[in-house]
Structure 1
Amino acid sequence: MHSAASRVEAALGLLLRRTTRANLYDNLVEDVEGVDETTYPVLSGIARLEPVSSTRLADEIGIDRTATTRYAARLERAGLVRREPDAGDARSTLLLLTPEGRSAIDSARRKVVDRLDGIVAEWTPLEAELFATVLEHLVGKLRTES
C-alpha cells in the first residue's frame, strides 16, 4: 500500500507534466486569437503579476527569459499585451495586459472553472469543499517552503 504522501506525489507528477498542461491550455485557448499552449502561461503570468518585467515573469512561470520575451512579443503583436517603461529601471520595460488580453484571460479562466465544475459535480458537496480546502493548504505550504 502506498502512503498518502506518495499518492499525492504521483498525482502532482501527472498534473504537472507538460502534456497534461498542454492539453489543458489547448482547451482553454481554442477560441482565443493569438494565444496557444506556449503563450498561455505568459499571458496568465502577466495577469497574475502585472506590471511585471520579462525577467521576473520568466522566474515565476519557469520559462527561460528569452522564450518569455519572444512569447510576450507574440502576445503584443496579437494586441493582448503592451509594454511600458519601468520607472524604477530605465533599462527595463514592464508587461501589462491590454483590455483584449484581460478579456482573453478572463475567458480562459471561466473555461477552467467550467471544466472543474463538471468534474466536481460528480462528487458530493463535502468532497468538493474538502478537496478545495486541502489543495489550498498544500499549495500554501509548498509556496512558503520554497
Structure 2
Amino acid sequence: MDNTPVAARVEASLGLLLRRSTRAGLYAGLVDQLEGVNETTYPVLSGIARLEPVSSSRLAAEIGIDRTATTRYAGRLADAGLVAREPDPADARSTLLRLTERGRSTIDVARVRLVGQVEDALASWPADERAVFATVLEHFVETLRSR
C-alpha cells in the first residue's frame, strides 16, 4: 500500500495531467485533420466556445495564456474562418470573439474526440469505478472552483 498522503498523490497526478506535454498530446488527437486549428490554437477555440462572446483579455485570463498570444491565436482562428470578431456593445474600443458556424462544427468534432479519448482511457475500468471516478472528479472540481 502506498503510504504517500492522499493530497500529495492527487497533487502529483494533477501535475502530470496539467503538464504542457500531456495537454499537447491530448490536443493532437483532438485536432488531427481539422482544418484551421492545431494543438496551440485549440485551447483558444475551446475557451471561446465555453465563454462566447468573450474579450481577448477575459479569454486569456480564463485559459491561462497571455493576452498577446491569445489575440494572435484568435487571429489565426479568425483567418481560418473559425472565429469572428464583433464590436463590444459595452466598450466601443473592444471586440468580442465568437465562434462561426464552421468553428462550432470544428469544436463539436473535437469534443466528440475528447469523449472518445476518455472512454478509451477508462475502458478497462469496471463500470462502478468509472461512475465513482466521474462523481468524485466533479465534486473535486466544484470544490476547487468554489474557493
Same fold, TM-score > 0.5, yes or no: yes
User: Mind listing any 5+ residue stretches in structure 1 that lack a counterpart?
Assistant: none
Shift in Å at residue 87 of structure 1?
0.4
- Give the Å deviation of 1:143: 1.0
Q: How far, CA to CA, are the matches of 2:118 and 2:67 in structure 1?
A: 31
Partner of 1:15: 17
User: Match of 1:2?
Assistant: 4
Q: What is the CA-CA distance between 1:5 and the residue it aligns to?
A: 1.1
**How high is the TM-score relative to the length of structure 2?**
0.97
Moved over 3 A (4+): none
| Correspondence for 1:80 among 79, 82, 89 | 82
Of 28, 31, 34, the match for 1:29: 31
Counterparts of 2:145 and 2:15, CA distance in 1: 17
How many residue pairs end up in the alignment?
Answer: 145
User: Quick one: distance in 2 between partners of 1:67 and 1:34?
Assistant: 17
- TM-score between both structures, scaled by the size of structure 1: 0.98
Q: Deviations over 1:1-57 (max 9, x none)?
A: 101111111000000000000011111101111111110000000000000000000
How do 1:52-71 and structure 2 match up within 5 A? 52-71=54-73
Residues 1:39 and 2:52 aligned together: no
Paired residues for 1:88-99 under 5 Å: 88-99=90-101
Number of the residue aligned with 1:103 = 105
SS at 1:95's partner residue? Answer: strand
| Superposition deviation, residue 63 in structure 1 | 0.4
Separation of aligned partners in 1, 2:20 and 2:122? 23
- 1:100-141, Cα deviation, whole Å (9 max, x unpaired): 000110100100101111121211111000000010111111
Q: Which consecutive residues of structure 2, in runs of 5 or more, have no partner in the other structure?
A: none
2:144 aligned partner? 142
